[in-house]
Amino acid sequence: MLTATEFYFLRHGETDWNLQGRAQGQTDVPLNDRGRAQARAAQSLTKHLPITRICSSPLSRALETAEILQEALGCSLEVIEELRECSWGVCEGGSKGDWFQDWKSSLSNPVGAEPYEAFLKRALQGLNKALTYPGPVLIVAHGGVYWSVQKHAALGAEFDLPNTVPVRHEPPREGFPWWQASELDGYPRECNGIEQ
């Protein structure tokens, strides 16, 4: 169960492998110049938010994004191992072909890959570890980690979160018995009737 507290989530900036459509997984691919520029642009979307702490994946693409945001926010930064992207084993570096949907459907598991359900559980542990800090917390991690948010906050079908778009999450409360998520880039999307 996802800890019922307000938080923000932001996917890391772009990497060359993002640009090329390659499966990164736990391969530590750094931000490219555009990814760094995206992170700097996200400073203007986050600097006035009441964020008290940033929690980041240890992978450099997320950690560098978090460090750039920290410059504007001026708050503490914690690295949480469980927020690391999923390992896709031998498929890392390749394209997301048929193997990817089979993996997500638990029909097969590439050699060396983390099973899909085990990954979602581990990501949830990382999210909840981040949410033990006084908040609201900004979690800087990966698209795959966000699937765990989508599942455990019942936000509807999975989608790939764009790079460096902050998303605010509000827990269920009186009159709103479900999680609400809203993107802070000015381009909200609808997902099962919930604004994201």
Q: Which segments of the chain does DSSP mark as H helices, in order? A: 16-20, 33-46, 60-73, 98-104, 116-130, 143-152
Tell me: cis bond preceding 136? Omega within 30 of 0 counts: yes
The CATH number of the domain holding residue 95 is 3.40.50.1240
Residue 194 lies in a domain: no
Query: Cα 56 to chain center, whole Å?
Result: 9
- Counting residues of the chain whose pLDDT is more than 90, the rounded percentage is 85
pLDDT of 189 higher than 70? no
Residue 18 assigned to a binding site: yes
Residue 189 lies in a domain: no
Model pLDDT for residues 81-106, shown as the tens digit of each residue = 999 999 999 999 999 889 999 999 99
Calculate the alpha carbon distances from 115 to 86, 141, 150, 155 in Å: 9, 19, 18, 22
Residue 16 assigned to a binding site: yes
Model pLDDT for residues 11-55, shown as the tens digit of each residue = 999 999 999 999 999 999 999 999 999 999 999 999 999 999 999
Position 195 scores a pLDDT of 35
pLDDT of 117 higher than 70? yes
Query: pTM of the prediction?
Result: 0.92
Residue 149 lies in a domain: yes
Residue 171 lies in a domain: yes
Position 160 scores a pLDDT of 80
Q: Write out the catalytic residue numbers.
A: 12, 85
Residue 191 lies in a domain: no
d(CA 96, CA 131): 31
Could you tell me the pLDDT band of residue 59, with boundaries at 50, 70 and 90?
A: very high
- With contact defined as beta carbons under 8 Å apart, do 103 and 96 qualify? no
Residue 61 assigned to a binding site: yes
Residue 190 lies in a domain: no
Residue 46 assigned to a binding site: no
Residue 192 lies in a domain: no
User: Integer distance in angstroms from the first to the last C-alpha of the chain?
Assistant: 20
Which domain, by its residues, includes 169? Answer: 7-184
Structure tokens at 76: 């503490």
Domain count, the chain: 1
Residue 110 lies in a domain: yes
